[in-house]
Amino acid sequence: MREFDPQVLLEKARQAREQAYAPYSNYRVGAALLGRSGRIYTGCNVENAVYPLTTCAERTAVVKAVSEGEREFVAIAVVTENGGTPCGACRQTLREFREDLVILIGDTEGRYRETTLRQLLPDSFSAADVRR
């Protein structure tokens, strides 16, 4: 039996997307990260005129969760207009916490697909690689 309802996570991500600050790209992203505790942490992208300082929705959700003491995650839903996948920096940030994290990638029409972080970031770099 599944630990979560994909539709709940996708709806939370859609709602978070509405809060995005994307005046430069107009590419709004929302994320909803489910912690092992059952709590959902949302995030949206926050752009900056200096593009490298932009914060992605996925990383916003992770930072919120970690700052609240959550360290174990079950799944994340990411919603964009066209079903875009998490960027490389977000994939690596998510990898820090769980290689087999379930990722729901949705669009504004209600379509989504399910994958895992392992599929999006094969042969990833992790804490095991920096241990001596």
Active site residue ranges = 58
The answer to whether 75 touches 98, Cβ cutoff 8 Å, is no
Nearest 10 degrees: Cα torsion 93, 94, 99, 101: -170
